[in-house]
Amino acid sequence: MIPLRRQMERLLEQGLHCGESKTANTCKKLLKYKSALWTFIETEGMQPTNNVVEQLISSYVLWRKSSFGTQSDRGALFVERMMTVTSC
């Protein structure tokens, strides 16, 4: 995996000087978090995507969209607590 990491880092560094500002900015951001890019490989059981979490919260997102959310702080507190209870 080390050769792949080095190659990726080298390509990102080349991208910093490619002449395209959008590409250079993307490469800069990726280099800033380069150690985090490989966390899912180095950590046993770590998923490379956040699909599990997205699936967990999708019902709450759909509820919020269909009910227009809450209209008060008290209502928001109630929803927070109910979401905590039902998701644990």
Please tell me the predicted confidence (pLDDT) of residue 53. 77
- Token digits for 6? 């080095």
Q: CA nearest 12: which of 43, 46, 29, 80?
A: 29
pTM: 0.51
For the chain, the domains span 2-42, 51-87
Are 66 and 44 within 8 A, CB to CB?
Answer: no
| Tens-level pLDDT at each residue, the chain (88 residues) | 678 889 999 999 999 999 999 999 999 999 999 888 888 777 787 777 777 778 877 877 777 777 777 788 998 888 888 878 876 6
